[in-house]
Amino acid sequence: MHHRTPAATVGVVGGGQLGRMMGEAAGPLGVEVVVSDPTPDCPAAPVVRDQVVGGFDDEGTIRELAERADVLTFEIELADPDVMARVSEATGTPVHPDPDTLRTIQDKLVQNRALADASVPVPEFRRVDTPADLRAAGEALGWPLMLKAREGGYDGRGNRPVEGPDGVEAALEAIGGAALAEELIDFEREVAIMGVVGDGGRRVYPVTETIHREEILRESVTPARTDGAVRSRARAVAFDVLELLEGRGVYGIELFETREGEILVNEIAPRPHNSGHWTIEGTVCSQFEQHLRAVLGWPLGGTELRSPAVTANLLGDVADPGPVELSGSEAILEADAASLHWYGKREARPLRKMGHVTLAGDVDADDEDGREALLSWARELVDATTFA
């Protein structure tokens, strides 16, 4: 296929940090990005061609975006699949990944059913609409269990462990809507794989280990500190997941590694993902460049590991939301192995992702101590920063 360069404009619903990093990846390719976001001068705005200001589900906004783009994509699950499908029909601008994929993934119950029906391993789960449903789920799956909001939960928001029958009403009230119960997995570690579906097939990136506290991703370590058999199993599961998804693009596939070395799917994101930020420094083609190539139907880029990499998130540590500056970043900038990514968000909130640091180290991919040292170093660099 013949490609002219510069050849394309990609319209992205959402202009947060993922849209910003897509804009950064688009420049070298000669691709232009236009984003839509309800927040004027959103984080992506400084690095993209233009922003259309409007809601994620506002038809006029999405239509204006589609009319200016060769293909539409999204960096946030709050994008409305029905609106995007209608706009695509009206304007002839394709949407990738397919709105049907977004519909499936937006509802955790639908997502788990689709996976289970395809024999992809997932935790045992039950639909929960009432306190009686949740009590029955506890009897069937065992206490404690994990209660998840079916819609709107991301980054661990909308997940709540329930210790026993006494906690049922409070948990359902906190979730505040349709839910599902999952068996609580006693996992050895959480891992993730960024996968991509393109015109020329499917590829996966190396297995990443993801470290969460308070349900928020703190650090990632690539390659994951697990054995080769587990990594192979994770890759096989990731390819099975990609088979199920309609439409081109990058997908973040979050997995549990159980104590027995089994792999279960936790969640899928139909977009680049925090657990893939290491790919900017750690691989030939970052997840952001890969997503642009995929949605445009261009040849996919290489997913091979260039060097082991550790990322650590810079999270808002302020008590009150407000405008902030990052102080203490000198040590990050002075460290030869470190790359600083600042997202340009107007205000910090507790646990809000404000940026990240990646250490791409000169360590051997099989050297677990080397990755351990990189992780400690990344934590030190992040701990030395404050928001003021």
Binding-site residues for ATP, in ranges, read 108, 148, 182-185, 190, 212, 266-267
Return the bridge partners of 276, or none. none
Q: How many CB atoms lie within 10 A of CB 119?
A: 8
Tokens of 137: 């789920």
Cα(141)–Cα(103) distance, integer angstroms = 27
Strand 179-183 relative to strand 187-198: parallel, antiparallel, unpaired?
unpaired
| Binding-site residue set | 108, 148, 182-185, 190, 212, 266-267
Taking CB atoms within 8 Å and a gap of at least 24, the contacts of 7-10 are 7/31, 7/296, 8/32, 8/70, 8/71, 8/296, 9/33, 9/34, 9/49, 9/68, 9/69, 9/70, 10/34, 10/69, 10/70, 10/71, 10/72, 10/73, 10/292, 10/295, 10/296
How buried is 349 (Cβ within 10 angstroms: 0-12 exposed, 13-18 middle, 19+ buried)?
middle
